[in-house]
A = this chain, B = another copy of it.
Amino acid sequence: MDKKPQILARHRLAETRLFRIESMDIRFSNGVERTYERLVPGGSGAVMMVAMFDDDRFAMIREYGGGVEDYTLTLPKGAIDLGESMRDACLRELQEEIGYGAREFIHLKKVSLSPSYMSGGIDLVLVRDLYESKLEGDEPEPLELVEWRLSELPELFARDDCNEGRVLAALSLVQQYLAGRYPGDPL
């Protein structure tokens, strides 16, 4: 099973402003052939941040999600612009979404939404040493900044309006990192 399947052909099935759907004809090492479909995001990647006000308090935002057609409690995040470094993307998105800049950025992990069906991923970053600084973003309405505490993660995770797998992942990694149990790379 460690021998990767062979990709026999790729086809573009559909493309819209935001999404591209591809199919891939695949032959596994045991000879079985399948046609897979997957989503290929455009752009240069994306970042999601846990921005700490102190050792316990961090920033969440309340934002409308068109996918679930409701407001959800999520972490500041955004696309990396073409030619922009991951650190610069974090610094820009933070100022646009919560009105803070920062001096310390620690990369924790790149996660995939669905390894089966989506290429690409999002980089999870811990951000510290914040200072007030505001940039105008492209949000259709102002985002509401909500403070939460790492010491109250279970209460957050139990909320119906906090329902994004990678948000739970990012916060759990930050908790492990701050406990000295997980590695991080300064950006």
Contact = CB atoms under 8 A, between A and B. Distances in A.
Interface stretch (A50-58, A81-89, A91-99, A168-176): A168-176
Interface in A1-47: 1-2, 4-5, 7, 13-19, 21, 23-24, 26, 28-30, 32-34, 36-39
Given A7-B69, A32-B141, A14 B17 contact: no
Given A36-B66, A66-B36, A144 B16 contact: no
A181 B158 CA distance: 10
A65 B34 contact: no
B34 A142 contact: no
How many protomers of this protein does the assembly include? Answer: 2
Interface residues of A, number: 71
B64 A37 contact: no
